[in-house]
Amino acid sequence: MTASLSMHLLVRDAQTLAHTLLSGDPRRLAHVRGAALIAGMAAGALRVDQPETLVAAAWLHDIGYAPSLRRTGFHPLDGAMFLARKGWPDSVVLLVAHHSHAAVLAPYYGVHHHMSLLDHAPGNGDDIITFSDLRAGTNGMGADPRDRIDDMRRRHADRTFVPSDIREARYRMMLTAAARVNAAINGATRAQPTLMRQPPRAS
């Protein structure tokens, strides 16, 4: 099997797995579909090596929400552990484990030790997955990252076991990562301004 065919199959398998595991959650499935689309466009604009790895990770980054995968209750780790058990490439496993600065929350879910054993994927993959997670919006239709964070603040307000300053620090880290990717894309190409340019927002 050629390397390019192997990578193509990686994305196909990731898409199939996401559809299988998230079939009961159409909104989340639409979200990961949007994230995969954005990850592919970002990876192309930034000419990253093995863009299919990023697209596959974007498809899979939220599979840990699937009830059948629940082990620790921390979805980045539950998803990553499942993928590791099934023999998925380490690069995909690590991107799923660390998506959107998950490690910041790990101590409050009792999984800090497990997460500390997982390296970060090399390169800017973590940033691109975080960018894609934010830009996809909850329904995959696209969002301003700041609006997405506001939505997360509302939806996660009941998770009071995570101190508010820790939650806010993570949100800032996510926005900074997304801004890095946005700046890199804008620096690399002006070919996709409608997707990548930040819309103006009143403060």
Chain residues that interact with Fe ion, rule: CB under 5 A: 62, 133
φ, ψ for residue 140 (rounded to 5)?
Answer: 75, 5
Geometric angle at alpha carbon 162, from 156 and 166, rounded to 5°: 100
Task: Return the number of the residue (120 or 190) whose C-beta is nearest Fe ion.
Answer: 120
Residue identified by tokens 């500390």 is 116
CB of 189 to Fe ion, least distance (A): 25
Smallest distance from the beta carbon of 199 to Fe ion, in angstroms? Answer: 21
Least distance from C-beta 28 to Fe ion, angstroms? 8
* Alpha carbon distance 42, 38 (integer Å): 6
Find, among 68, 41, 53, the residue nearest to 135 by Cα. 41
From the CB of 143, what's the least distance to Fe ion, in Å?
11
* Nearer Cβ to Fe ion (126/133): 133
Judged by beta carbon, residue 147 or residue 202, the one nearer Fe ion is 147
Cβ 134 to Fe ion shortest distance, Å: 9
30 or 188: whose CB is closer to Fe ion? 30
Q: Which residue is nearest to Fe ion, using beta carbons?
A: 133
Query: For residue 119, is it left (φ>0), alpha (ψ between -120 and 50) or beta?
Result: beta
CA 46 to chain centre: 17
Dig out the tokens for 111 from the structure: 């999984």
DSSP 121: P
Question: In the complex with Fe ion, which residue's Cβ is closer, 127 or 133?
Answer: 133
